[in-house]
Copies of this chain bind each other. A is one copy, B any other.
Amino acid sequence: MPDTDVAALLPRLVAALPDGVVTTDPDVVEPYRWDWSHDVAAGTPLAVVRAQDAEQVQVAVRWAAEHGVPVVPRGAGSGLSGGSSAVDGGIVLSLERMRAIEIDTECRVAVVEPGALNVEVKTAAAEHGLWYPPDPSSYEICSIGGNVATNAGGLCCVKYGVTTDYVLGLDVVLADGRLVTLGGKRVKDVAGLSLLKLFVGSEGTLGVVTRAVLRLVPAQAARSTLVASFATVAGAATAVVAVGRTMRPSMMELMDQASINAVEDYKPMGLDRTAGALLVAQSDAPGVARAQEVEGMRAACEAAGAEVFVTDDPDEGELFVAARRMAFPAIQARGAVLLEDVGVPIPLLPELLARVAAIAAEHDVEIPVVAHAGDGNTHPIIVYTPEAEDRARAAFHAVMAAAIALGGTITGEHGVGRAKAAALPDQLGADVMELNRRVKAALDPRGILNPGALGL
């Protein structure tokens, strides 16, 4: 708990930082209370600190540590789990002004401040013929700091891995205001405990990232796109398992019938409304190997009963990927939503989706599903009207329980934040929760960093 007179101490923080860094203007503060999950329990912070450099982050954290004030670190605010919901009496520490990006072509890394957007890193790398693969659907609006905080995934993870696979170094401001550097511009480094990997995905509960060294790879080769229309989700899942056994698609996305129709209602794209499920897959294998891989995927899909369309035209292919990316806004347009991020072992995808359908029926809510099917990571989206909120929340928890029962996870890439904190012990169990708490207490003994996130 903050000292009771923290508000009275705020002028010290204001005076210690340049003009305009600390703001208490309620109109300015208001949008910093929420991320995209619109957490109804979000608090009202004392102030928003929009730091311009790591030293200002240290000043703010030192002040907070001295007075026991909660600090909620915040990137672009596009989080989907309430990981940056404001806390009453705390400060929001926004990194949005720290956006420098430096590409080191010799070391093949990007050195990036946390407020830089994912798309900005991709663009800067592309100018040198290099590529930063992680690609959350929100890549045009989400920040690298947020990506690191959640260990964000995306569409190309199925072949290229997630954020942690690309983080070679971090500068982190600790809970007492000290700044440490972990890792650096070296590809392999096993000196000491893997603290670098521990900070990735820690959702601001262990420290505040002020700089990241990100591995880049050569630019992605040209892609071909396959769209396969299945009578049932189970058929699509069968194809996903078959493809994964011998091929490495660079994308393997699934839309169920409800999400296909939501997109068609939102913006007609010519998708097959009668399909039980669509797979949108890509291959970026080099040269003629691409055509071979796509034909292999076609055969696997047809064997599972699909009608298949293939295009080598990048613009045409992008239309289908855009349709998949559009699913979230299209579904949001139908009402209030609760967005799931559950994952299961890949062969259990049909079973998970059958259970989601049963939960939708039982709770009388609509639950369209899109999925990074190649990774077994799905996004059931619970759509509800205001009077159905209780049923929707019950369905939200039932879907997480179903994933846990199938040996899965409540979150594959969005993070636990506050939205899923109550379900985390159900997945991890008491012993692993206790390990989480011990590590948290070791690195943030006063518990000032993002209290409540992850239930810590």
Listed in ascending order, the chain A residues whose CB lies under 8 Å from chain B are 105-108, 129-130, 150-151, 153, 157-158, 161-162, 164-165, 174, 178, 180-182, 184-195, 197-198, 200-202, 205-206, 217-219, 241, 244-248, 285-289, 292-293, 343-347, 372, 375-377, 407-416, 420, 424, 427-429, 431-433, 435-436, 438-443, 454
Contacts and interface: CB of A to CB of B under 8 A. Distances in A.
A347 B178 contact: no
Nearest to A343: B186
A428 B192 contact: yes
Given A153-B188, A181-B432, A195-B435, 17 more contacts: A106-B345, A129-B245, A186-B408, A186-B409, A188-B376, A189-B343, A190-B415, A190-B416, A192-B427, A193-B198, A193-B206, A198-B198, A218-B245, A286-B292, A287-B292, A438-B442, A439-B443
Contacts of A185: 345, 407
A450 to B, nearest CB: 12
Contacts of A429: 180-181
Contacts of A108: 244-245, 346
B217 A248 contact: yes
B106 A436 contact: no
The count of identical subunits is 2
B287 A432 contact: no
B187 A376 contact: yes
B247 A195 contact: no
Counting from the closest, the 4 A-B pairs by CB-CB distance are A286-B289, A197-B197, A442-B442, A287-B289
Residue of A202, A219, A244 with most chain B CB atoms under a 10 A cut-off: A244
A129 B293 CA distance: 16
Nearest to A153: B188
A345 B189 contact: no
Contacts of A106: 241, 345-347
A190 B201 contact: yes
Nearest to A161: B165
Contacts of A414: 190
B246 A191 contact: no
Given A245-B129, A286-B286, A439-B443, A151 B427 contact: no
Contact of A286 (B174, B285, B410): B285
A290 to B, nearest CB: 9
A190 B105 contact: no
A428 B108 CA distance: 23
A201 B161 CA distance: 19
Given A195-B432, A410-B191, A218 B441 contact: no
B375 A188 contact: yes
B377 A192 contact: no
Given A186-B345, A346-B187, A248 B194 contact: no
A218 B283 CA distance: 15
Nearest to A217: B248
Nearest to A347: B106
19 contacts: A105-B245, A153-B188, A164-B197, A180-B431, A181-B429, A186-B344, A186-B409, A186-B412, A187-B376, A188-B409, A190-B201, A191-B409, A191-B416, A191-B420, A191-B427, A193-B201, A194-B201, A195-B439, A286-B287
Contacts of A289: 285-289
A194 B198 contact: yes
A212 to B, nearest CB: 15
B195 A436 contact: yes
Contacts of A442: 438-439, 441-442
B407 A377 contact: no
Contacts of A241: 106
A181 B429 CA distance: 9
B194 A411 contact: no
A375 B439 CA distance: 31
Contacts of A180: 429, 431-432, 435
B129 A190 contact: no
Contacts of A244: 108, 218
B151 A194 contact: yes
A326 B306 CA distance: 51
